[in-house]
Amino acid sequence: MSFDHFGEGVETLTRTVQGRTVKVQWNWGKFSTTEGFPVDENMINWVIGQEQALSEGFLCLNEWVHKLKHLEETQWYASWSNADEAKPAAKTVISPGPYLLLLGDPGTGKSLLGRALSEKLTQVYKENGIKLFDVLAWKNAVLPSQPRVSIHTVGEGKKVLQKEQRKELKRKFTTKIGLKAIQALMLTLGVFLLALGLYFMVNAWQTWTAGGVSIGGTSWQELYSNNFSAYFVDKFINLVPLTFIPGGSLIFFSVFIWWFSRMGGLTNLRGVGGAQQSDVPKLIVDNVSGNAPFVDATGHRSAQLFGSVAWDPFQTGGLGTPEHQRVTAGDVHVASLGILYIDEIKNLDPEDAVTLLTVLEDGQLPITLRSRWHGGGTSAMAVSTEPVPAITFLVGAGNFDSIGQVHPALMDRIYGYGKVVRMNNDMPNTLENRRKYVQFIAQEVKRFNLMPFRRDACMEIVEEGRRRSNKRDALSTRFRPLISIIKTSAILAMNEKCQAVERRHVLEALNEHCKTIQKQLLEHEMHERGKLLEIKPEGVTLGQIHGLAVVHDPYSGEMTGNVLGVKAQLVKKTEIPRDHPLKGYYKVTGVAKGQSFISDSIAKVRSVILQKYGVDIAQDYLTHIDFAQSYGVDGPSAGVTMAILLCSLIEGKPIRQDVAVTGEINLGVNGAIQITAVGGIHEKIKAAEAWGFKKVVIPQKNYLHSIDARDYTIDVVPAATLDDYLKECLVEQQFLKVPVRKYK
C-alpha cells in the first residue's frame, strides 16, 4: 500500500498515567509497531469519533455540576442528618434534569461514554468541592414499619455505624456478663441444693444405723417395722421437692444458657446485607471510595432499580429481624449524585418507567417492598422507609428503534429536561482519525494483554474500518466488531510465535474467522447454490447479461453478494405468421411477486426503451425477460440489467459475459438516461470477483461515495448514464438487429 496512512513527524501526546499527566513523543513516520504507544488511563480519551456526543455530554455535565453547586449552597442535607427529624420535600429544592439519551447502533461506544462521564464527574466534584453522602436506615421506635433515614457526608456513615455498633456491643457485653452471672448463680445454687439433699440422705442413713428416734420418741426401726427401704424411700420423697428437683432444674437451665450462648442463638445470624436482630442502623448507601457513583442498571428489575424490603426470615437474619435491617437500597439510591446508566432503555417495564419518572422529578424515593411476587402478603408489604435521596444523572442508551418504544412520559421528560444525542456510525477518514485508530488498537492490546501490531497490520485495520463505513472518505466508529478482529489476529500471531501481529494475520482473521453466523449461513447458501448456476464469465452472447444483487438476512441485516444470469427474448409481433394478429406483451419472470421496487424498475425499463429507440416493448413486441435460476428477485438495481439486455437485442450487439452490472435505471432528461446509486455495492463487487468476472460496472455516485479500487482485484468502472454502461458492456460485432420503428 503506497498510501501514507499515518503521516510523518513527531507528535507530543498528553496522557494520564498513574494519576499524573505526562507528555510522550511519538514518531508517526517511523514507528514499526504499537509497542510503547502511550495509553491514557482517563477513559474520556478512549471515546473516538463521537465528538458531538461528547460535546452534548459535557454540556449536560456542566448543567449537572451547576445544579449540585446550588444544592451545596442551600445546605439541603442539613435537615437530613438527624434520623428523628421530619424530612422536607426534596422536590421544592431539587430541580429535575439534566438527562442524556444516547441513540445509535451497537458497538459505537454508548456505555463507554457513560463510564467516561462518571470518571469526569469525580474530577469535577473535587475541583468544585461537591460532596457525596452516605445513607443510614434507622429503627423507628414509634412506627417500626416506617424506618427512619439519615444522610451523612462521605465516611461519616461508617463512623456513625461503628459508634452504634459499639453501643450495641456494650449492651451485648453487659447482657452476656449478666447471663454468665445468672448462670453461675443458678449453677451454684443448684449444686448447693443437690449437696444439701445428699447430706440429708446420708444423715438419714446414719440416724437409722445409730438407732435414732423420731420426733415422737419412737425409734425409726419400730416406726417402720425394721424396714430400712421404706424408711429411706420416705425420706427421699420428702427431700426431692425441696432439694433435688429445684437443684437439678437450676443446673439444667444454667447448662442450657451456656450451650445457647456458645451456639450464638438468633442474635448472631446474618442474612441479606448482613441483616441481624439488632437495633443498630443499617448502612444502605456507602460512598466511602469518594468516586462519583456509576451504576449500570441495564436489565435490572423493580427491586434492583428502586430498592426493596426483604421478607423471608431465613434470608434476613432470623425471626424477629427489625424492619430497618431488612431494607436494601436500589440503583437509583446508590447512584445518587452520580450516573444511572440504563442501556436498552426501551425494555423498561411500563410500571418501572413510571416509578423512574417519580425519581427523576422528585429526586427521592421511599424504599418499600418491590419484587416479582410482592412478598406474597407478608408483613414486609406494610414497610416503607422515609424518602431516600435519589438525585441521579440518568444516561439512557438504545438503538434508533428505541425512539418509538420508550415510555412516552419518560421520553417527554428526557426531551424536556435533557438531550437526545445521535451516536455517529462513522467519522471522516482524516490523518488525525487514522492515528486515533492506532490509539484504539493500542488500547485493546493493553486491555487484553495482547502482542503489539505492526504498522502494516494497523493499516489493514484502518482499511477495514473504511470498508465497514461503506464510504470512501469515512472510517467506522462501530469498534466492537473490530475488537474481535484485533483479538483474533493477535491469537493467530501468538500461535505462530511471532513477535508482533502482521497484516497477513489481520487478513486471515477477516476472511476466515471473524464473520458473523448470519454471514456464514448466507455465504454457505450462495456457495451451494452456485454449484447449480449456469454462470460462465467468458465470451460474448446476444440476449444474456449478468447482473448483481444482494441477499439479506431479515434479522441481523447482514448481506452477501449474488450474481444473476438474466436472459431476454424480443420478437416483433408482426413477424410471426398468424391468421389473427398477436397482441404484444411484456413479461418478466424470476422476480418477486407484488413487490413495488422490482415492479417500478420493470415499468421504467419500458419507458426508457421507448424514449431511446421509439419502440414500445409491451405493444409492438413479444418481450420476455427471465432472471434465470433466480427466486424472488426484488430491488431497483435490476433496472439497468434489463435495459442493457434489451438494448443489446434492439441494436444487435452481443454482451460481454465477463462484465457484471448493477444500478437503478431512471427516466431520461435532456436526452440522458441516468443510472443512480444502489445499496450493497461492496458485497456485489466481491461476489463478481469471486465468480471470476474481469469487470464490474457500477453507478458513478456509488464509486465516488464508497469505492476504493485498492480493495478489489477486479476492474471497477464507474458509469453515470445508460450510454456509459453500453460502452462497457456491448461489443461492435453486429448480429441481426430487431426491426424497430421510430415514432414521429
Which residues have a catalytic role annotated? Answer: 637, 684
Smallest CA-to-CA distance from 208 within 189, 230, 231 is with: 231
Of the candidates 97, 62, 60, the residue with the CA atom closest to the CA atom of residue 357: 97
DSSP helix/strand/coil, 24: strand
- Dist. CA 388–CA 336, nearest whole Å: 10
Helix or strand holding residue 197 (H, E): helix 156-209
- Non-local (6+) Cβ contacts of 731 within 8 A are 540, 653, 654, 655, 656
Helix (H) or strand (E) holding 495: helix 479-495
Work out the end-to-end distance of the chain between its first and last CA atoms, rounded to an integer number of angstroms: 56
Instruction: Determine contact, residues 604/651, Cβ cutoff 8 Å.
Output: no
DSSP E strand stretches across 401-538: 419-422, 426-428, 474-476
**Cβ partners under 8 Å of residue 506, min gap 6:** 457, 460, 461, 464, 485, 489
Report d(CA 669, CA 672) in Å as an integer.
6
User: Measuring CA to CA, which residue among 263, 199, 261, 207 is closest to residue 231?
Assistant: 207
Return d(Cα 79, Cα 319) in angstroms, integer: 34
Find residue 627's DSSP bridge partners. 566
What does each C-alpha distance from 662 to 341, 434, 635, 658, 692 come to in angstroms? 45, 31, 11, 14, 16
Strands, E, within 474-583: which ranges? Answer: 474-476, 540-541, 544-552, 559-572
Q: Is the peptide bond before 106 cis (omega within 30 degrees of 0)?
A: no
- N residues, the chain: 744
Yes or no: say if 298 and 348 are a contact pair by the CB < 8 Å rule: no
Alpha-carbon distance values, 604 to 599, 639, 663, 665, 708 (Å): 9, 8, 13, 7, 30
Nearest Cα to 620, choosing from 665, 585, 661? 585
d(CA 484, CA 463): 16
Whether residue 523 contacts residue 511, with contact meaning beta carbons closer than 8 Å, is answered with no
**Which of these, 651, 654, 632, lies nearest to 731 by C-alpha position?**
654
Element (H, E) at 111: helix 110-128
Q: What is the CB neighbour count within 10 angstroms for residue 445?
A: 22
d(CA 287, CA 295): 12
**CA-to-CA separations, 684 to 11, 554, 660, 688, in angstroms, rounded:** 40, 18, 9, 6
Grid cell 459475459 in the structure block, residue: 657
Rg (CA), the chain: 43
